[in-house]
Each structure stands twice: as C-alpha cells, then as structure tokens.
C-alpha cells in the first residue's frame, strides 16, 4: 500500500518509518502547526530533512500556518498536557493528514505519534479510525513504542545526530516546561 505517514518529529519518525516501510511504500508528511515558535519548527523540520536524506525517503512539507491550529484548541489553552487540548491537537493534525492522503491518492495514513511514551495511543488509534471512516481513506493503527520501539528511536537518533526537542511543541507546553 502507499502510505502517508504523519511525522511529528524526526526521532519518532525513525522507528515508525523503519517498521512501516518494511511492508508499505511510505512518504512522510510533516504537518505540525502546533510547533511554536517558528524557529523551533525549523529546527524540527531540519532534523527530519537530515533523516530523510540519510535514509533516502520522501517527505511532504505543507505550509506552516498555526492560525487554524490555534482555532482548533480555542478555549482549551490553559488545560494541562495530556488533556482535551492535546486530543484536539492530535485530531487536528490527523484529520489534515487523512484529507491530504485522500487528495493525493494514498491508500492509507498512519502517524509516528505512537513512538512516544508520553502519548495516549488508545486515543490516537481510536480517533485515527474515526477520521479514516469519515474521510474515506484507510488508517493503519500502531503502537510503535512497543517492542523497544522508543529505545530504538533514541538509539537511531543519537547515531544520526538528530535534534531531539525537550518540550512537546506548543507555546503552552513550552511555558509548562519552563515553570
Ligand atoms: S502539549 Fe503537545 S500534544 Fe498537547 S497541545 Fe501542545 S503540542 Fe499538542
């Protein structure tokens, strides 16, 4: 199958890409308007460009426009990490990925978000399946962090010298990190 893989960051993409590309034709999709400020977005994008060059795969980089993302989490700004704000954020990114997969004639979409030990994989796979049904394109559920997937991602990103961020992405997570 041709799969559009939503990539949240280069370190998480390592395990996700490795595992998916064993059985599918995979193209990355770096859609993350949740990353602020812009210079941080650039750092994470540069890290992914480095990975895709090293491992020779293609990645699509849609325009960076955080305004629609801010609207999608409106009213949830002050909630803590792991709350409804994060669910809205992940659903927003997955919906956009699914719509692009459909538009670009991919058979399915997936996400590297499940490489992270901090993410609610049950929610991600549930919302991924619902979005897939709504948009009309297949979703590939995953728990990439399983079977040492997260450790493997740490190892691979160290070996490749990939930038690893120390906060989730949005200005609210940056603020909490600084507290
Ligand atoms: S903490 Fe992370 S998942 Fe939650 S809203 Fe911010 S960027 Fe999105």
Residue 175: per-residue pLDDT: 74
Domain ranges for the chain = 2-178
3-state secondary structure of 57: coil
Closest residue (by CA) to atom 6 of ligand 1? Answer: 170
**Is 92 a pocket residue for ligand 1 (Cβ < 6 Å)?**
no
- Mind listing the pLDDT tens digit for each residue in 77-129? 999 999 999 999 999 999 999 999 999 999 999 999 999 998 999 999 999 99
* CATH code 3.40.50.620 for 2-178: yes
DSSP per position, the chain: -EEEEE-S-HHHHHHHHHHHTTTSEEEEE---TT--SHHHHHHHHHHHHHHHHHHT--EE-----HHHHHHHTTT-TTSPTTSHHHHHHHHHHHHHHHHHHHHTT-SEEEEGGGGSTTS-HHHHHHHHHHHHHHHTSEE----TTTTTHHHHHHHHHHHHT----SS-SSHHHHHHHH-
User: For 1, which DSSP code?
Assistant: -
Q: Which two tokens stand for residue 103?
A: 């538009």
85 lines ligand 1 (CB under 6 A): yes
Centroid of ligand 1 to alpha carbon of 35 (angstroms): 8
Digitized pLDDT (tens) for each residue of the chain, 179 residues in all: 999 999 999 999 999 999 999 999 999 999 999 999 999 999 999 999 999 999 999 999 999 999 999 999 999 999 999 999 999 999 999 999 999 999 999 999 999 999 999 899 999 999 999 999 999 999 999 999 999 999 999 999 999 999 999 999 999 998 765 44
8 A C-beta contact, residue 5 and residue 110:
yes
In Å, how far from its chain's centre is CA 164? 14
């Amino acid at each position: 199958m041709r799969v559009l893989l939503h990539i949240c960051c280069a370190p998480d993409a390592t395990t996700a890409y490795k595992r998916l590309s064993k059985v599918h034709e995979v193209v990355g999709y770096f859609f993350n308007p949740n990353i602020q400020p812009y210079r941080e977005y650039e750092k994470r994008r540069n890290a992914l460009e480095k990975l895709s060059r090293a491992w020779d795969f293609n990645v699509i980089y849609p325009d960076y426009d955080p305004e629609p993302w801010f609207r999608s989490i409106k009213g949830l700004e002050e909630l803590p990490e792991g709350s409804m704000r994060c669910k809205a954020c992940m659903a927003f990114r997955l919906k956009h990925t699914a719509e692009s997969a459909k538009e670009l004639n991919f058979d399915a979409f997936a996400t590297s978000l499940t490489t992270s030990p901090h993410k609610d994989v049950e929610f991600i796979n549930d919302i991924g399946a619902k979005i897939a049904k709504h948009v009309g394109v297949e979703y590939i559920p995953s728990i990439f962090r399983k079977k040492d997937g997260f450790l493997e991602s740490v190892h691979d990103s160290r070996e490749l010298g990939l930038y690893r961020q120390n906060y989730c992405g949005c200005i609210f997570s940056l603020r909490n990190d600084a507290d």
